[in-house]
Chain A
Amino acid sequence: MILLLQYTLIFASVLMLVALGGCFSEHSGIVNIGLEGIMVMGALGGALVMKFLPNLSAPLMILLVVICSMALGTVYSLLLAVAAINFQADQTLVGTAMNLLGTAAATVFVKAMNTAESVDNVSSIIQYVNQKKALVVYIGKFEFNWFMLIALVLLILSYFILYKTQFGLRLMACGEHPQAADSVGINVYKMRYAGVLISGMLGGLGGIVYITAGVSEWKFENGVAGFGFLALAVMIFGQWKPHNIALAALLFGMLRALSNVYTAFDFLAALNLPGNLYNMLPYIICLVVLAFTSKNSRAPKAEGIPYDKGQR
């Protein structure tokens, strides 16, 4: 039971962070399908810190891991920002490319690094068994992960920024009606950059949280196993609102956790359902919900539409 709670919370943290990232991007008007790739990059950033600076004190380790994963995620998201904002590229196409590129680039990088260290090592694995201990505290049997707290803080912060600040108001105006924002002197391009880069930041952080959840090494060839897409489902299910996203993340996180630990529950094991069903459920739920709500969706109205100042 504790294990379920622990997995639920950590998966929910991942999903929430990444979905919040997507939420910022979409509120600025850019559809971010590339979250999966961004997560891989963020994960790589954090993993590298743990690999090369193994002996840091716990707070410093957490800080550096967070900063590095965020930084790499942000830099990587520039690919989307430049293509979608400056060059009006098809956002779906670019996002797809970023997902493929993220995994490929991380794999090439890690493999090159491993091979350089030892010619026989052609794997794409980074290990961080001891380093990971800095991230967790045991409360009884419960493995508390500092990232859970960070995710909670960022959730509250995101809510505050979106609804209570000048920045949030302007950001959402750009996603809803960029011409209106432009007419009152808001630089739509700049706001969209901000939205995409924040999504890179949060997505990158989500990446490192994911690869430290429950495991102590990561094979980068595997990417992040669809968590970026799952986060997209969380964002849609949460109707682009941070508080709803938190609830959706908890629900979907729990389903994910169940797929890992359902055998520990007698009544679930007795049902004898395939574990894949729990993996599938979030997507099915999301699709059903979409089928019933899409007629009056709360999705930002201008999302996915390139903004061209010249066109009025």
Chain B
Amino acid sequence: MEQPYAIEMLHITKRFPGIIANDDITLQLRKGEIHALLGENGAGKSTLMSVLFGLYQAEEGIIKKDGKEVQIKDPNDANDLGIGMVHQHFKLVECFSVLDNIILGVEPTTKGGVLQKAEARKKIIALSDKYGLKVDPDALVEDITVGMQQRTEIMKMLYRDNEILIFDEPTAVLTPQEIEELMQIMRNLAAEGKSILFISHKLNEIMEVADRCTVLRKGKYIGTIDIANTTREELSRMMVGRDVEFVVQKDEAKPGDVILDVQGLTVASKAHSNNAVKNVSFQVHAGEIVCIAGIDGNGQTELVYGLTGLEPVSSGTVKLEGQDITHAPIRKRSTMGMSHIPEDRHKHGLVLDYSLEYNMVLQRYFEPEFVSKAGFLKQGAIRSYAERLIDEYDVRSGQGPITIARSMSGGNQQKAIIAREIDKDPELLIAVQPTRGLDVGAIEYIHKQIVATRDAGKGVLLVSLELDEVMSLSDRILVMYEGEIVGELNPKTTTVEEMGLYMAGAKRGATSA
């Protein structure tokens, strides 16, 4: 029997200059189901949702609500149709109470515009009980956990009596327990007749909670399947378009001397006290790739900040080739042979308004090769150096060395950073999510470069959230969970499932690293 559809997006096509973000995509959401929308970064998921939300207008295709065609011109239209969304980055006012955030935009008031919060509080408490959300209306958003903030977002939708609930990558920021609770909440919501769109690229979560799944790849519609009749592998194939390649071509590692020696490292976190790095010890040898795996927000960022000197270390020691660098300035670490491909290339990695050539010498501009004794830059030397790197690392840009970095594509920006950091001939390369948000071609290239660095006898510390990358690239895996290293695994003998257990905090091993 065909169930009625809550929302249908039929043959949606949305073009942007240069690319077709959505090419004839159809998405049909049944009443009361949890429908996953699966795709890699850049597959067109966000664009499709923006069309549904009225942020973009599609060039072709129609949207139907309960079988009737509707026009959605802006988010208010979407709201009126009962469509609500939990954004990946929460839209909450931090210094407001939970209650104020929930009612914002649909405040109950007297005729004169005076707030009537008592009514709202009653309704929120009732909804909270009904769906098991446990929100405290009077808490300030800045004081509550990330999981509770997300539930505040869910409550915003419920308070507005939304029938269609969109969750955009909702688990990225949550702890495993919180993810479990979220899954339960989503099931409760569906059971009460709400229709849920669940955007994700995490197969396990989709397998666990969704009824059906629509897969997009590179802006195209691949298909919609019932979760009950599919496997993780099939979904994965649909998503990437080929069998996941679990092995990057590389030889056996030949570990040499210790390059990086970390003992009892503790780093305080600015954002969340529970994310701090706690008493972590490990070593990286020459000629091996050690990978720090883990779910986002388990202390990896802080660990890297501590190692590279971006944040001060609370206790413990860091040694680079036997020299204590625990409190050394960043510049010293760099000149001693540490290279750092940062997690956020826009925040740290590049001066976007500088030309490509100026970015290429960002770590070396102070060396005699590029600056005279009197402090003048040697423009000619900078130019020829940049040209060599552009050539060797195949960095493509509109105007070569004088291209402003901002105007380059993400992949080429990343390649420029990698060229800069690897060409510096480091003893230790710290690469944090080096392939995030890049296309397959760029990813392969970057993986090759990292392996080549290892083969040249350098130590590599890779921090990655992508399981595939961890499994295929590393020689040793260290799993981080809540700021600690909870296990050391061998990629040849371990499985994704086992690693997942460590990452979720369900298993702990001896940390002999």
C-alpha spacing A165/B100, complex, angstroms: 11
Interface size on B, residues (CB 8 A): 25
Q: How far is the CA of A180 from the CA of B153 in the complex (A)?
A: 11
Would you call A185 and B75 a contact (CB within 8 A)?
yes
Does A19 touch B at the CB level, under 8 Å? no
Known A176-B94, A185-B105, A186-B105: A166·B115 in contact at CB below 8 Å: yes
Residue of A nearest to B156 (CB): A184
Chain B 71-108 per-residue mask, 1 if CB under 8 angstroms from chain A, else 0: 00001100100000101000111111000110111110
A172 on the interface (CB 8 Å rule)? yes
Cβ of B153 to closest chain A Cβ, rounded Å = 10
Decide if B114 is an interface residue (CB 8 Å cutoff): yes
Expressed in whole angstroms, the Cα–Cα distance for A186 and B107 within the complex equals: 11
CB-CB under 8 A for A184 and B96, given A167-B113, A179-B91: no
Interface digits, B14-58 against A, CB 8 Å rule (1 contact, 0 not)? 000000000000000000000000000000000000000001000
- A-B pair number, CB within 8 angstroms: 65
**Is A233 part of the contact surface with B, judged by Cβ < 8 Å?**
no
Q: Is the interface of B mostly helix, strand, loop or mixed?
A: loop
A181 within 8 A of B: yes
Residue with the greatest number of chain A CB neighbours at <10 A, chosen from B75, B91, B94: B91
Cβ of A245 < 8 Å from any Cβ of B?
no
Question: How many angstroms between the C-alpha atoms of A176 and B101 in the bound complex?
Answer: 12
Interface residues on A, range: 20 to 34
A312 with B93: CB separation less than 8 A? no
CA distance A246 to B262 in the complex (A): 55
B109 within 8 A of A: yes
Interface residues of A in 132-153 (CB under 8 A from B): none
Per the bound structure, the CA–CA distance linking A172 and B115 in Å amounts to 14
> Do A177 and B115 form a contact, CB below 8 Å, given A169-B100, A169-B107?
no
Q: Which of B87, B112, B115, B156 contacts A169 (CB 8 A)?
A: B115
Query: Which residues of the partner chain A approach B76 to less than 8 Å between Cβ atoms?
Result: 185
Q: How far is the CA of A82 from the CA of B104 in the complex (A)?
A: 26
User: In the complex, how many angstroms separate the beta carbon of B513 from the nearest chain A beta carbon?
Assistant: 37
Question: Which residues from A are CB-within-8-Å of B100?
Answer: 169
Residues of B within 8 A of A169 (CB): 96, 100, 103-104, 107, 115
5 interchain residue pairs of minimum CB distance: A184-B105, A180-B91, A183-B91, A185-B76, A166-B107
- Given contact pairs A170-B105, A177-B93, A182-B75, a sample of 10 additional A-B residue pairs in the complex whose CB atoms are under 8 Å apart: A164-B115, A169-B107, A169-B115, A172-B96, A173-B104, A177-B92, A180-B93, A180-B101, A181-B104, A185-B79
Q: Give residues in B with beta carbon < 8 Å to A.
A: 55, 75-76, 79, 85, 87, 91-96, 100-101, 103-107, 109, 112-115, 156
- Some 20 contacts from A to B, beta carbons below 8 A apart, are A165-B112, A165-B114, A166-B109, A166-B114, A169-B96, A169-B107, A169-B115, A170-B107, A172-B93, A173-B93, A176-B93, A177-B91, A179-B91, A183-B85, A184-B104, A184-B106, A184-B156, A185-B79, A185-B105, A298-B95
